[in-house]
Structure 1
Amino acid sequence: MQALRQRVKADRIAQRIEELAKCSTTERGVTRLSFTKESETANGLVAGWMREAGMSVRRDELNNIIGRYEGNQPDAPALLIGSHLDSVIEAGKYDGILGVIAGIEVVQTLFENGIRPKHPIEVIGFCDEEGTRFHTTLLGSRAIAGDLQEEDLQAKDAAGITLAEAMKEIGLDPANYRLAARDPKTLLGYLELHIEQGPVLEQMNQACGVVSGIAGQSRYQFRVEGLAGHAGTVPVPMRKDALVGTAEMIQAIERIALQYENLVATVGKLSVSPGASNVIPGLVEGTLDIRSINNETRLAALNRILEECKSICERRGLACEFSKVMESPAVPCSSRFIEAISSVLEERNMKSVQIVSGAGHDAMAVAGITEIGMIFVRCKDGLSHHPDEFATTEDMGMGASVLLDVVLKLTS
């Protein structure tokens, strides 16, 4: 195993990531939305590298790119390795991409050294995890998990194009989306390698860590309605200022969130109307995002926040309405996979630090049909979803080596 891991080619990983970064509609960062010319070009590159690594390649019914490396027992359940190939607007180069390219590198290392494990290995480049184009996340992995719904096909992008229409444009029949679903009996498990998107590993001065689980999310839109008025003539005590009320709500959200361990709460977007310097704000619309690895904690904090916001608005004579956008429970990683990854980290003289992922990943959807495990790789300043997102070639090589060792433990 020691000799084999030394043959992982970190420079090849870095070079391929650079090539994929060119598949972008923007010069600043990477903008590669699903079912576009840029995503099709990226899929072509990935498919070519999969074939170079000794895999057969297919595109499934939702445009996930899947490479399969047969094992000594082709009928044995397959180990899946994957991540996504789409991006947010002006993203970095590594989010999602590193997991796909590292998976290919693991298989290519096995192939170049004539090694066939017992179990087949499949590397998946998921078509749409971010939800940037159609505002519906985890499209590719939900299809594989059998959780995609017919109504998802009618989700529209900013130009009014539906997912179904976008699929047709690249030669897919949206009526066949259910055929992408995988039979759990044919799967050994799922591994995903990803940049951490946080600061823990950098603070520890360690290249890799093991993910213990993915935080659950509660996402809401809210609307606070007061009364617009002249900024110069309405006395402050008599105002029904929607923005001032929202500001107090945001402070309450922060105060409540600080009272819970392993919980975060974010008001990430606000829209103020009428939006004039000499008019008292009469309407504020915004978003609330709450996450925790503990579902009971998240729901308890959410209920307190909703009650407190309602109380603030009643006291100020404001109308307040919260509408649920998404409710996603926390997803624990498999204890068996955590132990396998932890043992490899210790063999590599690293601490088996367990990190909760506050960000969502394709693993969340795949967990519905098989065991999951995740490996984090250190990224500079914990920065992600930004053009300055960065992971060193050495750390990417270490991550691929850890992934290789885990794959051998699970498939031999």
Structure 2
Amino acid sequence: MTAVPDSLADPTTAEGVLERCSQLDGWSSRPDCLERIYLTPEHAGANRLTAAWMQQAGLRTWQDAAGNICGRREGRTDGLPALLLGSHLDTVPDAGSFDGMLGVVMAIAVAQRLGRRIDAGELAPLPFALEVIGFSDEEGARFGKALLGSSAVAGVWDDEWWDLRDRHGTTLLEAFDAFGLEPRHVRTAARRPEELVGYLEAHIEQGPYLEARDEALGYVTTIAGARRFRLTILGEARHAGGTPYPRRKDALVGASEAIVEIEQLARASECIATVGRIEVSPGAVNVIAGRADFSLDLRAATDTERDEMWELMLAAIRRQCDARGLRLEVSETHCAPAAPCAPWLQEAVVHGIATTGNTDPLGLWSRAGHDAMVMAEVTEIGMLFLRCDDGISHHPDEAVLPEDVAVGIDAFEAAVLRVAEAYEARS
């Protein structure tokens, strides 16, 4: 067993869970901030540490063919389908300490609590196996493709990804080899639907809605369906001083109008639209822009809402371009369907929250993506949200309250037991 740093706190308590999150912070590629990306020594170190915690919790552990770290405790008989608990261990650059990691460590805490109670005879063995997983690459920070770890588990791996390159030119295929994984075996990480009871994930909200209600916990109704586009507006590059306004075909002005229109349409709806990048050519201070490329990230609670908003935006941008004599080109770079949480797993999470005293918790659609949305390809999903300070995430200021973590562990444990009751009733 890998040596584990000394701990003064019970790992099934909020203090112990937060201490473990802090220990994971030590596995960072940068001394000045937290950064832990896929198939690196820091990824390997975090996996070893997490595996040791899983073993302490009584789980049998293994690293799968995509680099995910897994642990399992059998149910009342060996070989039963598993209820899978988990989240991710990788981070964005300059990350906070809780996005993903908190959910993994909470899942281990719940597995250890339940194991203690079962071993003590307080609880009967569960009617399913209990598994915990630390996904290896949710953020996509290294190769630009998110959710690689859960994609392997869900059986939706695409061989075209082997040619993805990081900023140093290393391909995903080369990184697998260097990490000690066998690319030919990546599909052995896939789980079959009949092997799983469902998937539950605890995660910080990454938004302000729970804090606004002064509530520690909420449940997720669905995870946003997202589409991403690259829009190119083509005009004519000409001399900035010599070209009068009636003769100008300024691509940057056209892009600016489009970006404002995107925001106005989204603000008047329930959709979320973000332009996070813009590039202008030729990019000289005394030349009218002949080309402007910009990104669009569009999300909504349902695919229908998202797609209808895209059609509105596209029509409006085309009208603006026509009025200025500009051309518009569009390419779609990403499309992920919305992932509704299963009603019976939502009910289990709501029940878990109710055991902590909140009998009317807030239901939220997750504007952020999660491993759960890919796991929905292979099994039913449910999610528990925890309040985070000011809704801040993907930033070192990410913070949670110890008392929220305490009730979160309680609620997550109660949700698992509720799933066991419902599963037996359904069987």
TM-score bucket of the superposed structures, by smaller chain: over 0.9
Stretch deviating more after TM superposition (148-157 or 360-369): 148-157
Shift of 1:254: 1.8
The letter for the 2-side match of 1:410 is V
The letter for the 1-side match of 2:16 is R
Cross-structure match for 1:157: 166
8 Å contact 2:355–2:414 — kept in the other structure? no
State the identity as a percent: 43
TM-score, normalisation: structure 1: 0.95
Cross-structure match for 2:95: 91
Cross-structure match for 2:368: 359
Cross-structure match for 2:424: none
Matched, 1:394 2:403: yes
Stretch deviating more after TM superposition (314-323 or 88-97): 314-323
Q: 1:283 aligns with which of 283, 291, 295?
A: 291
Cross-structure match for 1:344: 352
The letter for the 2-side match of 1:61 is A
Work out the CA distance in 2 between the residues paired with 1:110 and 1:53.
9
Work out the CA distance in 2 between the residues paired with 1:123 and 1:7.
15
8 Å contact 1:8–1:401 — kept in the other structure? no
Stretch deviating more after TM superposition (281-290 or 105-114): 105-114
Cross-structure match for 1:3: none
Matched, 1:44 2:54: no
8 Å contact 2:29–2:42 — kept in the other structure? yes
8 Å contact 1:129–1:140 — kept in the other structure? yes
Work out the CA distance in 2 between the residues paired with 1:247 and 1:55.
54
8 Å contact 1:333–1:374 — kept in the other structure? yes
Matched, 1:306 2:314: yes
Cross-structure match for 1:325: 333
8 Å contact 2:95–2:394 — kept in the other structure? yes
Cross-structure match for 1:267: 275
Q: 1:35 aligns with which of 31, 35, 39?
A: 39
Cross-structure match for 1:199: 208
The letter for the 2-side match of 1:27 is P
Work out the CA distance in 1 between the residues paired with 2:350 and 2:115.
25
| Bigger relative contact order, structure 1 or 2 (CA pairs below 8 A, ≥6 apart) | 1
Work out the CA distance in 2 between the residues paired with 1:300 and 1:269.
23
Show CA shifts across 1:125-173 (max 9, x none): 0111111111111111111111011112221111121111111111111
The letter for the 2-side match of 1:91 is A
Show CA shifts across 1:44-90 (max 9, x none): 11011000111110011111100101222223211000111111111
Could you list the runs of 4 or more consecutive aligned residues of structure 1 that deviate by over 3 angstroms after TM superposition?
A: none
Q: 1:75 aligns with which of 79, 83, 92?
A: 79
Work out the CA distance in 1 between the residues paired with 2:420 and 2:171.
40
**Number of residue equivalences:** 406
Shift of 1:335: 0.1
Provide the secondary structure at the position in 2 that maps to 1:230: coil
Provide the secondary structure at the position in 2 that maps to 1:88: coil
The letter for the 2-side match of 1:144 is V
Work out the CA distance in 2 between the residues paired with 1:126 and 1:345.
25
Change (3 A) 1:29 1:356: farther
The letter for the 1-side match of 2:159 is E
Q: CA RMSD in A?
A: 1.5
The letter for the 2-side match of 1:247 is S
Shift of 1:346: 2.2
8 Å contact 2:355–2:411 — kept in the other structure? no
Shift of 1:7: 9.3
Matched, 1:11 2:20: no
The letter for the 2-side match of 1:185 is E
Cross-structure match for 1:231: 240
Shift of 1:28: 4.0
Shift of 1:328: 1.1
Stretch deviating more after TM superposition (23-32 or 46-55): 23-32
Matched, 1:216 2:225: yes
Provide the secondary structure at the position in 2 that maps to 1:279: coil
8 Å contact 1:379–1:391 — kept in the other structure? yes
Show CA shifts across 1:187-244 (max 9, x none): 1100000000000110111111000000101100111121222222222232111111
Work out the CA distance in 2 between the residues paired with 1:28 and 1:271.
29
TM-score, normalisation: structure 2: 0.92
Name structure 2 gaps, 5 residues minimum: 1-9, 422-427
8 Å contact 1:343–1:352 — kept in the other structure? no
Work out the CA distance in 2 between the residues paired with 1:401 and 1:164.
41
Name structure 1 gaps, 5 residues minimum: 1-5
8 Å contact 1:242–1:284 — kept in the other structure? yes
